[in-house]
Each structure stands twice: as structure tokens, then as C-alpha cells.
Copies of this chain bind each other. A is one copy, B any other.
């Protein structure tokens, strides 16, 4: 288990290593050799410290490690105030984000800070005794310790973990208990008490650094803030940006995540679709829809919000390439759109289908490209292009660690993140402390940034194999004259177009009726797929095409193949074709 120890001088929640609060087993700057060898990327950290960075716009894992080592130990006690900015690299030379007051709803604009959370600022006074907040005493938390067994990078499989996983212990008073062999920067007494709604300093630091590694936004005043998952983050964002009384509307892909559509509808926010191809939404159509907006005909104000899933889009599996993203961003600038970039599948970007097949080749490729290569190979995010501060990126641990953590984060301009936190304070109050301390221990204190990236590389490889299984099954069991598809380049979903015009009842039955018939036949034959119509952004118009969504995330390879065979049988039966 890696146990490095850090601090920074900038933040109220930090103490230098000479502070009495940072005494104990883990105190003082970490000797460099406490860090695992694999934590370092290309260059040796020792050399880097004196050498100027080669590309000042790229933050590396070594940069982060250097910053932490220089800063010393993070001391953030119960309900400590923290801010993503405390953990960022210097943003010298970057411009500030644009102010976007005109994008905010009335509800968001009038939010005031939570008076009791604000009072917590006095807690930093030395010697102050708080009779302020109603925080229970940790003495009454019935948890002496939590332990967990987790994979040892790079042996991430279940089998390997059973044999030589790492056992990690989280004690109640690890932070202050000098005698504890588990002395660390976060413990149960802190994590299980009330915290700030933006999340703990400990996990905020990790996601801030991770976001810097991956996206490094091109403006100065960006912030990351923990969320209880991207579904909740989207609802908060919509309430922040859209007003029922202003007749606000949102644009999205013509087929979009059904839960997102269901989130918007009760808020009185109309959703309109933008046409797509296999790289997702079409910038030209986005521009045309906005340029030709007719408020009366649409029954809504010209949209000022775009909701998009750029990688492995749900439900179509489409992935926007870099040029596509740049073109979308330009249209957003032209029409002053605010972009909600929902990226749960970002790290499940796969190699093109048919290339790099075979386990051995794959492994070899990962070794060759390494962590740096993997990071360089990711399609740049919209956030990384966001010179204006008009993107809110939503990240989530649901698809890449566990959905049950109910934990993710957003990254946006300080203005937007501050409004978002004001809302979180009076609703979910931030993510579960169990989730936070467990993810911190796993990602930060045990794996570190490089270990986590290696985990993501492992997952990418696993999902590539699964994608390949479902595509092979489709090739084997589906009639290409009726069913067509593109190979997904990311994510968990395979989108199957079924040519309704070839259906024997095409002249007499609607697409929705035929779709329902096929869906029911699928259930009869023992396979559950998603109906394309569930995902239509504009449900009050008639569909002109027919689709089904199949996930390759959940079933075993054998079951997936069998399920696609059953899907093929359902199609044949509905189309009254010979078996």
C-alpha cells in the first residue's frame, strides 16, 4: 500500500509538516522511495524537479506527485472547507471564464449560502470550541474500522485479487492517532461525520488532479466538485440553467439517454433533438436548428443549453471524434450555448473493431503505449477545448469503479460550480462518507493516479473484448439485409437498426407497433433489449426509423451470444421469414 504524505501552503485545510497536527507515523514529507515505481511515468521524478516542463499545457502524473511532495501533508478535519482550486497547478497566463449570469435560472440566481455551513469558517481559529453545528461526536459512530480487499495493480482480475489483492484498513482515528500503523490523511471519524456539500478535501484533491491530467481546461478559474452521480448532477444543472416560466428548452442528440429526457420533462423544460451520424450529433444540424428557431412554432425559447454524451453515446454508441467536438464547440460559441458534457463512458474508448484482436496483441500494445500513450490516445474532451467556460463536464465512477458509490464530479467555471454547490447544500449535501473514504483509500492512497489509469486501461481492454463478442454474434446471427449497425468505438451500447420498410406489415402498421411486436417476441424468446423509441428526444413526433439498443456490459460472453441469437429469431418471426 502506497502511503505518501503531502500538504500545500495555500489552503486553510493544510498544515505544514512542522505543525503539531501533522505529527505521527505518517507526518513529514514522504521520502521519495515511499512511492511505488509504477507511480512514475516516463521521466524520473527527481530529474523533473529541476527541469522545465516540456509542454506547459500538459500536466503529468510526475507533476502532480512533485506538487504533493513539495506541499506536505493534507490536514482536513471534520467538515473542513475546501475548494478544488487548492489542488490545482498554477494557472498563470490562462484567461478567466466568461460570466454567464444570463444563463442562470431564477431559482439558482437567488440561492444564498447555507448559514450553518458558512459558520464553519470560524472553526479554523486555534483553540475555538464549537457549540455551533449539530455535528454528532465520532465517539458515537459504531464503526471501529473498515477494511477492504482490492486488486493490486496491474493484476486487476478477480482471480488475481483473491490470490494477492491488497488488504486496506481504514480506522476511526487514523489521522490523529500517532500510534496507528494506518496513519493517513482521511479516516472514519472525518468521513462519517457531516461534511461540506462539495465533498471532502481528500477526494476533491484526487478528482481535481485527475481532471487536470485528462482535460486540463484552458481557462484559469475552473473547479471540480463532487456529486452524488451524474443523474443528480444533470437535474441540478437543469434547475440551475432552465426556467419553466422563461419557457427554456434543451437540445440533445435525436436519440438520447431516456433518464435525461425524463429528468427534464417534469421541470417544464422541452427537449429538442439534433440529427446524428455515426460520430454523433451533427454540428451543421445544430447550427441550422438554432439559426432557424421559431419560438412560436416550437413553443419554447431558443435553446441556450446543449446536453450531449460525446463518447459511447447512450443509446446509439456513437463517439464524437476530435474534429466533430471542435465543430460542436464552435456552434456553441456562435449561439451562446451552454454545454453539459456527460461523459460516463469516456474511458471506455476502444480500439477500432478488427484491429489489435487477440489477448496477447492487446496486452503487448498496452505495455508499449503505457500510461502516457493511453492518455495521449484519448479523444480530447469538450472541457479541454473550453476557452470560454461554457462547458460543464460530468464525470462519474459508476461505469469505471462501481455504480453503487453514487459518486461523481462536475468540472466547470467557478461561477457555475459555486451555484451548483449552493444547491447541493440544501439537497443531497454531497456524497456518502462511506463512498468517499473507500474511493479515496482505493484511488489515492492505494492505487494512486497511475494505478487508476492502469485500471482504466484494463477496463477498456475488457470492454473491447465484450464489444467484439457482441459484434461477432451479430455477424453470426442477424440478417444483414434487415439489421445494420456500426461497431461502437466506446461505451457499453450497441445500436441496431432494423429496416422497418422490409417488414411484411410495413404498409399497415406503424413503426411503433412493429417495434413493440419485436420487443414482445424478444421477451418471449428470453432476451431483453431496449426499444429505440424509448430514447427519442421528440416523442410527440412520429419516428421514421426503427432501432434497438443492446448492452454488452452485463451478460457473460456465452449469454450475450445466445441473446443475440434470440434477438435474431424474434426478428425473423416478426418478419415471417424462414428459420
Contacts and interface: CB of A to CB of B under 8 A. Distances in A.
Contacts of A143: 148-150, 402, 438, 442
A110 to B, nearest CB: 5
Nearest to A195: B404
Contacts of A195: 404
Interface in A258-313: 258-259, 262-263, 265-268
A128 B263 contact: no
A462 interface: yes
Interface string A126-154: 01111111111101111111111111000
List the 10 shortest-distance A-B pairs measured between CB atoms, nearest first: A404-B433, A432-B432, A192-B404, A131-B550, A132-B528, A192-B402, A144-B149, A129-B563, A434-B434, A263-B426
A302 B365 CA distance: 69
Given A129-B560, A134-B553, 10 more contacts: A106-B268, A116-B530, A131-B551, A131-B560, A143-B149, A143-B442, A145-B148, A229-B428, A403-B433, A405-B433
Given A147-B146, A426-B231, A432-B435, A402 B258 contact: no
A459 interface: yes
Nearest to A136: B553
A534 B314 contact: no
B229 A141 contact: no
A258 B115 contact: yes
A181 interface: no
A43 interface: no
Interface in A320-372: none
Contact of A144 (B161, B192, B228): B161
Contacts of A537: none
Nearest to A438: B434
A254 to B, nearest CB: 17
Nearest to A491: B134
10 contacts: A112-B265, A115-B534, A119-B528, A131-B529, A131-B550, A131-B564, A142-B401, A143-B442, A146-B147, A404-B432
**Copies of this chain, tallied across the complex:** 2
Q: Size range of the interface on A?
A: 35 or more
Most chain B CB inside 10 Å of its own CB: which residue of A119, A402, A425, A493:
A402
Given A193-B402, A266-B110, A132 B429 contact: no
Interface string A408-451: 00000000000000010111111111111110001000000000
Contacts of A244: 245
A359 B397 CA distance: 47
A528 B123 contact: yes
B433 A402 contact: yes
A479 interface: no
A425 B234 CA distance: 12
A481 interface: no
A449 B464 CA distance: 47
Nearest to A548: B131
A148 to B, nearest CB: 5
Contact of A432 (B399, B431, B462): B431
Contacts of A314: 134
A528 B129 contact: yes
A554 interface: yes
A551 B137 CA distance: 11
Contacts of A404: 191-195, 432-434, 436-437
Instruction: Give the most central of A148, A149, A426: most B CB within 10 Å.
Output: A426
Given A156-B142, A428-B228, A132 B529 contact: yes
A45 interface: no
A231 B427 contact: yes
Contacts of A530: 116, 119, 131-132
A125 B129 CA distance: 59
A259 B528 contact: no
A268 B107 contact: yes
A564 B528 CA distance: 64
A433 B402 CA distance: 9
A390 interface: no
Contact of A526 (B128, B142, B438): B128
Most buried by B among A133, A139, A140, A425: A140
B193 A133 contact: no
Contact of A426 (B235, B432, B559): B235
A223 interface: no
Contact of A262 (B112, B235, B401, B436): B112
Contacts of A110: 265-266
A232 B566 contact: no
A229 B431 CA distance: 11
A133 B551 contact: yes
Interface in A361-410: 398-399, 401-407
Nearest to A147: B147
A542 interface: no
Interface string A230-255: 01100110000000110000000000
